Chain A
Amino acid sequence: MPIGNTRSSVRPASAGRAGGPGATPAAHRGGARPRRTGGDLRAERLAPYVLVAPAVLIIVLLRLYPLILGVNFSFTGDGAQNGTAVGFGNYRELFGDDLFRTALSNVGLLVVLLPVAVAIPGLLATFIYLRVPGHRFYRSVYFFPAVLSPVIVGAIFNLLLAFDGPLNAILGSFGVGPVDWLGDPDIAMFMVVGVHIWATFGMALVVFLAGFATLDAALLDAARVDGASLPQVIWHVIVPSLSRTIQFVFVTTMIGMLTSMFGLLFVMTNGGPEGSTYLPEYYIWIQQGQMNRPALASAASTILFVIMLVVGLLQIKLLERSGRED
């Protein structure tokens, strides 16, 4: 807290301030404004609450209340059991459902693939920063997919990856047999994640470029003078200098992967083949919209919420710790 310290050090006279919030009115009463009525005082006391009220109400009514309602629904039944308490029945059913387990394990897969999703824009941004030939051109081209809607991206890749599509035609001309990119359960999830990375890495690239703007060029020059090779420059100079940017990109990419893959899944695979590309979001949508199981969907949403909460808290911890190191 460097800012707070500075302020108190330049205003040593206002001792009342340092005494905490309880002491403030007393200081006022005895000092600057002695003739104040009781009504004014109450208004002043209430003012912060009134000012904060709209924000609190919005959070409570539109966020917390629905959240609690959703958690509450997850403990009730569906269909004939509508409205009756079933305890943890929905949760038991979820963990007994192969499909939901696949969805959860795919979340795990996303976490495993996260370093790749961060490394690609990081590496490309490095090349742009190091001014490879044509770097201006690449800078705009790399960002371009980020402005496309997932539905359009999905439709484009559906055509490219079709069994009789261009990618297989190219492979065929090299004598490699056709691959059912979106029809093979072992490959499909990687294709969808790959397309997601392709479609979104432009944003991370921009963040990295912004990070490079703060990089001390003298360090790079010094490294070069010392005869460091490109990999050495990246590993020993660029990565340590950009550690905060890298962490930020990790956080945003993870959130992006967990929350915005629905459009791609819907267009590219419909959760298939064999349910191999299900993610919790898609599962929730299917249960609520197609299977008419709102309570089960609430339970799945609650689990997704808990996962996001844990991931979010871990990331905040991580950012806090790195902040302290600075």
Chain B
Amino acid sequence: MRQRAIWSAVLVVSLALAGCGSASDSGKSTSSDGKLVVWDFKSGEAFAKSYLDTAKADFKKKHPDVTVEFVAQPFDQYYTLLGAAIQSGKGPDVMMFNGGGQIRDRVDALVPLTDYVAEDKQRLAGWDAFTKDGTIYGGPVTLQGYPIYYNKTVYEKAGLDPASPATTWDKLVADCAAVAKAGAKCFALGNKEGVGIQFWLSSLGSTTLTAQEYDAWIAGKRDWNSANVKRIFQLWKEAGDKKMNSDGANSTAMFNDSFAFFQSGKAAHVMGLMSDVGHWQDFNEFLTPEKLGVMKAPIVTAGTTPSLPYDGGIGYAVAKWTKDPKVAADLVRSLTSTEALNAFYSGAGAIVADTTIDVSQAGPAAATIVSELKSGKPALHVALSSKTIDLMGRLSQQLLSGSITVDEVVKQLAASDQAG
């Protein structure tokens, strides 16, 4: 027994000292010549066919001898599978990414695309979410933003004018008192996954932080002790304390329980998305396009101008181990061509990265969103690391349950933000 203990101690110590090998290795390509493998979490969906066909046709013109294979992965497991592929250094040549933390955390495994996509820089929007330290690692397909939607039917019931939603926070609180009298909640909130606070931070960011604070935040110089940053979390707590949110927010899934709550007219507002899910097209299932409004963020700090927070939503990146990065980058360009993105927009109802596409068919809410893209800014939460976002999710739940103070929240977030 003692000898066994000595041997295991020797093993542990030698492993600790050696520490050789690595948990994520980068190596060679798996694809044979003339074939590119693409991983994504969209190509399995019905709408994606016309998008992929258009993109493939475009790519075929440039590289007729290269075949492309799309492998649809389940989204729940996507980054786990991708992580395993990155670790083994074998996997797809081109892969889909969510913009922001998900791609920035993995740039070690990606090819810089800055030079390959130079021609597309003007035509497409949303590059920031696929950029780290000035280098572009992915081409944006959709734009993901965080508009505040409101239900005009609920407004009418509460005796409010659906054409002029509140422009200041105080007015919004007053409106919500009227909404509460009409038997509805102010916000449909699902914070089970801790995502609610992300939308809250980004939706109210432009009207709470000053323009300088906002730009500094995006640039990575975040002052967590600023009164305005604290204000965002205070408002979150206040909305919870005043029962403005739907009940049981911490156990309600945002996707799609909170959106269902909004659609069914039980809440007047929801901070939603503009692509993929929880957006104008989704809501049309129960709300007609005429009854769905999009409002600018209500002004919290005097002197601020509301702007739509948005970033690149999903996009494609090229793996380091691909044989010919130029060919793979061309595939990324085909996947983000105007024709392909037009097919994506009409199929999925997403706001795509190519802002030259006409969306007037999609109803007033979509038109409003697209018109605000020009003045839009990157969303605040997308600039944070996945670790800080995860922590923020848990802290936001504590704020709602009243077991933490706003000061403690910003302190912990500041520490996490500086560490990572």
A contact residues vs B (CB 8 Å cutoff): 68-69, 71-76, 78-80, 82-88, 99, 161-164, 178, 180-185, 188, 269-270, 272-275, 285-286, 288-292, 294-295, 297-298
B16 touches A88 (CB 8 A): yes
What A residues does B394 contact at CB under 8 A?
99, 272, 274-275
Complex Cα gap A290–B77 (Å): 9
Tell me the B256-272 residues at the A interface (CB within 8 Å).
Answer: none
Indicate if B80 sits at the interface (CB-CB under 8 A). yes
Point out the residue from A72, A80, A181 that lies within 8 Å of B20, measured CB to CB. Answer: A72
Are B21 and A291 interface neighbours, CB within 8 A? no
Chain B CB within 10 A, most for which of A80, A286, A289:
A289
Q: Across the interface, which residues of B come within 8 angstroms of A85, CB to CB?
A: 16-20
Q: A127 to B22, alpha carbons, bound, how many Å?
A: 56
Contact residues of B: prevailing secondary structure:
helix
**B153 on the A face (CB < 8 A):** no
- Of B164-172, B231-239, B363-371, B395-403, the one touching chain A: B395-403
Given contacts A78-B24, A180-B248, A270-B193, contact A289 B19 (CB under 8 A): no
Contacts of B248 in A (CB 8 A): 162-164, 178, 180, 183
Query: Is B221 located at the chain interface by the 8 A CB criterion?
Result: no
Which 8 A-B residue pairings sit nearest by Cβ, starting from the closest?
A163-B248, A85-B19, A83-B22, A183-B251, A289-B80, A183-B250, A295-B23, A294-B23
List the B side residues contacting A285 at CB < 8 Å. 80
Report whether B251 and A82 are in contact in the complex, using a CB–CB cutoff of 8 Å: no
- For B250, the chain A residues whose CB sits under 8 A away are 180, 183-184, 272-274
Structural contact, B21 and A79, CB atoms closer than 8 A: no
- Residues of B near A87 (CB, < 8 A) are 16-17, 19
| Contact A183–B23 (Cβ < 8 Å) | no
Cross-chain contact A72 with B19 (CB below 8 angstroms): yes
- By the criterion CB–CB under 8 Å, are B21 and A73 in contact? yes
Interface string of B5-34 (1 = CB under 8 A from A): 000000110011111111111000000000
Rounded to whole Å, the gap between the CB of B378 and the closest CB of chain A is 21
Return B342 CB to nearest CB of chain A, in Å.
33
Q: With a CB–CB cut-off of 8 A, which chain B residues contact A274?
A: 250, 394, 397-398, 401, 403
Known: A182-B251, A290-B390, A294-B87. A272 touches B194 (CB 8 A): yes
For A181, list chain B residues within 8 Å (CB): 251
A292 in contact with B194 given A163-B251, A181-B251, A274-B394 (CB within 8 Å):
no
Check B21–A76 contact: CB distance below 8 A.
yes
Name A298's closest neighbour in chain B (CB-CB): B23
- Say whether B251 contacts A83, CB under 8 Å: no
Question: Whole-angstrom distance between the alpha carbons of A214 and B339 in the complex?
Answer: 74
Tell me the smallest distance from the CB of A161 to a CB of chain B, in Å: 8
Within the complex, what minimum Cβ distance (angstroms) separates B164 from chain A? Answer: 32
Assess A76 versus B390: contact at CB under 8 Å? Given A180-B250, A289-B80. Answer: no
Asked if B35 is at the interface of the complex by the 8 Å CB criterion, the answer is no
Of chain A, the residue at the smallest CB distance from B80 is A289
Q: Say yes or no: B192 contacts A183, CB within 8 Å.
A: yes
Task: Decide if B22 touches A73 in the complex (CB within 8 Å).
Answer: yes
| 16 cross-chain CB contacts under 8 A | A68-B11, A79-B105, A83-B22, A83-B23, A88-B16, A161-B251, A180-B247, A184-B401, A185-B401, A272-B192, A272-B397, A289-B79, A289-B83, A292-B79, A292-B386, A298-B23
Contacts of B43 in A (CB 8 A): none
Cα–Cα distance between A137 and B249 once the two chains are bound (Å): 40
- Give the complex CA separation of A163 and B188 in angstroms: 14
Further pairs besides A73-B23, A76-B22, A270-B193: 12, Cβ < 8 Å? A68-B11, A76-B19, A82-B24, A84-B22, A87-B19, A180-B251, A270-B192, A272-B193, A274-B403, A292-B105, A294-B87, A295-B22
Q: Which residues of A contact B80 (CB under 8 A)?
A: 285, 288-289
Closest to B250 in A: A183
**A32 CA to B128 CA, complexed, in Å:** 85
Give, as a whole number of angstroms, the nearest-CB distance from B4 to chain A. 12
| Residue contact B16 to A269, C-beta cutoff 8 Å | no
Asked if B83 and A294 sit within 8 Å, CB to CB, the answer is yes
Question: Closest A-chain residue to B386, C-beta based?
Answer: A291
With the chains together, A161 CA to B16 CA distance in Å? Answer: 46
CB distance from B70 to the nearest CB of A (A): 22
Interface string of B101-127 (1 = CB under 8 A from A): 000011010000000000000000000
Given known pairs A78-B24, A185-B403, the reply for A286 and B390 (CB within 8 Å) is: yes
Interface string of B264-305 (1 = CB under 8 A from A): 000000000000000000000000000000000000000000
C-alpha spacing A289/B247, complex, angstroms: 31
Find residues 22-69 in chain B having any chain A CB closer than 8 Å to their own CB: 22-25
What is the bound-complex CA distance between A162 and B261, given in angstroms? 13
Report A299 CB to chain B, min CB distance, Å.
10
Chain B, range 295-317, C-beta contacts under 8 Å to A: none
Contact B22 A75 (CB under 8 A): no
A81 vs B77: C-alpha distance when bound (angstroms): 25
Docked-complex contact A76 and B23, CB < 8 angstroms: yes
The interface residues of chain B lying within 8 Å CB-to-CB of A295 are 22-24
Min CB gap A320→B, angstroms: 15
